[in-house]
Amino acid sequence: MSAQTDTPGSVTAVYKVSGMSCGHCEGSVSGEISEIPGVSSVKAVASTGEVTVVSAAPLDEEAVRAAVDEAGFELAGRV
């Protein structure tokens, strides 16, 4: 038996965001991305620049880019 961390039917994507340096940065990026419809979970890690997003369906990368821009950072793309 294997453990599932995602809800059945969910999609997990990892994005690279440049410019995050602290917990406040993580919170800003997470807060903006979590506003995108269908997003159920966001985990940003400043030390790696990676943001893991769990959503009901694949997200439009431009929507993610706009959210990251709104937070004041730059989306480098998917990992």
Q: What is the pTM of this model?
A: 0.88
Rounded Cα distance, 59 and 75, in Å: 14
Rounded Cα distance, 22 and 79, in Å: 20
pLDDT tens, residue by residue, 7-58: 578 999 999 999 999 999 999 999 999 999 999 999 999 999 999 999 999 9
Q: What is the CATH number of the domain that holds 59?
A: 3.30.70.100
The predicted structure's pLDDT at residue 7: 59
- Domains of the chain: total: 1
The length of the chain in residues reads 79
pLDDT tens, residue by residue, 52-76: 999 999 999 999 999 999 999 999 9
**Assigned domain for 23 exists:** yes
**Assigned domain for 41 exists:** yes
**Assigned domain for 8 exists:** no
**Assigned domain for 54 exists:** yes
Structural domain for 29, as ranges: 19-78
